[in-house]
């Protein structure tokens, strides 16, 4: 997969900081891990430079992170879900998929961001509902459609 150049990533980190788009640093985390040591030094001071490990397989990371994000949605974990949506958006940017960034921006954010996460999965052509048990599959499909997880009404937070 194509990824952004090291220079582009550094520029983006500075832009996130300058515009305060990333108060908690979750997006930055995704980006900084993709930098080699020389470029990482431009945006932070690694405490143990000798141990700096650059993440190289962004696709596996993104695929795994997608499963993690889906788990947070199904578990109705609001804060974690919101953080995962930010990180997935940043991974889409890193993988030079501006179309996916736009699709995620365009999707609304009800139900813990389920529609945004579905937009991410669908456009990469990665599994969204696969591997879930049938109850979770049904719940996630509804949430991705902006509905409460349970047709009888959700008691775990969908309605909030
Ligand atoms: Zn629910």
pLDDT one-digit tens code per residue, 23-67? 888 999 999 999 999 999 999 887 787 889 999 999 999 999 999
Is 1 part of any domain? no
Q: Tens digits of per-residue pLDDT, 60-114? A: 999 999 999 999 999 999 999 999 999 999 999 999 999 999 999 999 999 999 9
Among 3, 13, 1, 7, smallest CA distance to 38 is for 7
Mean pLDDT of 17-21: 90
At 1, the pLDDT band (50, 70, 90 cuts) reads: confident
pLDDT number for residue 57:
95
Residue, of 128 and 160, whose pLDDT is higher:
128
The answer to whether position 14 is within a domain reads yes
Q: How many domains does the chain have?
A: 2
Range of the domain at 70: 58-144
19 and 78 inside one domain: no
Contact 130, 90 (CB under 8 A): no
Q: How far is the CA of 135 from the centre of ligand 1 (A)?
A: 12
Phi-psi region of 3 (alpha: psi -120 to 50; beta: other; left: phi over 0): beta
pTM reported for the whole predicted model: 0.92
Q: Is residue 80 part of a domain?
A: yes
Ligand 1 center to 113 CA (angstroms): 12
Output the CA 89–ligand 1 centroid distance in Å. 23
pLDDT at residue 118 in the model: 98
Q: Which residues surround ligand 1, an ion (CB under 5 A)?
A: 149, 154, 156, 158
């Amino acid at each position: 997969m194509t990824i952004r150049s090291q220079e582009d990533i550094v520029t983006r980190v500075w832009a996130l900081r300058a515009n305060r788009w990333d108060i908690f640093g979750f997006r930055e985390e995704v980006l900084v891990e993709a930098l080699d040591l020389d470029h990482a030094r431009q945006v932070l001071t690694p405490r143990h430079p000798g141990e700096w490990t650059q993440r190289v397989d962004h696709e596996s990371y993104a695929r795994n992170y997608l499963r993690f994000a889906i788990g947070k949605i199904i578990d109705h974990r609001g804060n974690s879900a919101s953080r995962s949506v930010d990180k997935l958006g940043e991974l889409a940017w890193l993988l030079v998929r501006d179309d996916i960034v736009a699709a995620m921006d365009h999707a609304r954010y009800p139900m813990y961001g389920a529609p945004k996460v579905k937009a991410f999965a669908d456009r990469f052509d990665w599994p969204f509902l696969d591997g879930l048990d049938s109850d979770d599959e049904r719940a996630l499909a509804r949430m991705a459609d902006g509905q409460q997880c349970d047709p009888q009404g959700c008691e775990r937070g969908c309605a909030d």
